[in-house]
């Protein structure tokens, strides 16, 4: 059975039983068909057709229903993420702390953070920072391929690339 780990310890939750919320990166009307369809499946919360939503919807959905919703929203060109409710309901570390974790991790390597801020459209489960090779000559700009380091928003651990791929696929139907 496939399990999900969360929150400064291990909470073993079968992915098939995972409860998620939907996170919207832009405003979406509550009358949108993708959102109205959620009222059939939510175990907590309700989508009001008269409201406009952004951020967490504050609904509790089984993971597969949340995946269907974000897939529908993306087909309508709305960027959204299915997010385990642990990330909504627990305090998230600030971006500055995540940046410090990333800086510390990269300190003895030949890589460094490229920008001060995290990537704008990353899901609310991790902070994503772009990294590149250290350049000794300040007049030379690094142009190699883009890589990222991912810092968990609850416990500050570094996500492996495999974990990022699995989250994107299992929770958001993204390859």
* pLDDT tens per residue, range 16-43: 679 999 999 999 999 999 999 998 887 6
pTM of the model: 0.83
Q: Are 61 and 44 in contact (CB under 8 A)?
A: no
- For residue 30, give both structure tokens: 């509550």
pLDDT of 48 higher than 80 = yes
Q: With contact defined as beta carbons under 8 Å apart, do 123 and 170 qualify? A: no
Give dist(CA 131, CA 146) in Å, integer: 7
68 pLDDT higher than 90:
yes
Q: How many residues does the chain have?
A: 175
Q: Judge contact between 151 and 130, C-beta under 8 A.
A: no
- pLDDT score at 133: 84
111-138 per-position pLDDT tens digit: 899 887 888 778 999 999 999 887 655 5
pLDDT score of 10 more than 50:
no
d(CA 57, CA 121): 17
Q: Does residue 14 have a pLDDT over 80?
A: no
Q: What is the pLDDT of residue 64?
A: 95
The burial of 20, by beta-carbon neighbours within 10 Å (0-12 exposed, 13-18 middle, 19 or more buried), is given as buried
pLDDT of amino acid 1: 42
Please give the Cα distance from 4 to 20 (Å, whole number): 12
């Amino acid at each position: 059975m496939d399990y999900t780990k969360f929150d400064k310890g291990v909470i073993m939750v079968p992915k098939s039983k995972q409860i998620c919320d939907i996170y919207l990166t832009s405003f979406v009307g509550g009358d949108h068909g993708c959102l109205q369809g959620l009222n059939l499946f939510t175990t907590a919360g309700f989508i009001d057709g008269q409201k406009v939503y952004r951020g967490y919807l504050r609904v509790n959905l089984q993971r597969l229903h949340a995946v269907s919703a974000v897939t529908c929203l993306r087909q309508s060109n709305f960027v959204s993420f299915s997010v385990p409710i642990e990330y909504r309901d627990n305090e998230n570390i600030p971006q500055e702390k995540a940046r410090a974790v990333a800086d510390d991790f990269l300190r003895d390597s030949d890589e460094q953070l490229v920008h001060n801020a995290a990537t704008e459209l990353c899901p609310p489960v991790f902070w994503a920072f772009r990294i590149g090779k250290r350049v000794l000559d300040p007049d030379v700009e690094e142009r190699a391929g883009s890589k990222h380091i991912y810092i968990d928003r609850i416990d500050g651990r570094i996500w492996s690339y495999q974990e990022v791929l699995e989250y994107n696929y299992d929770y958001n139907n993204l390859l």
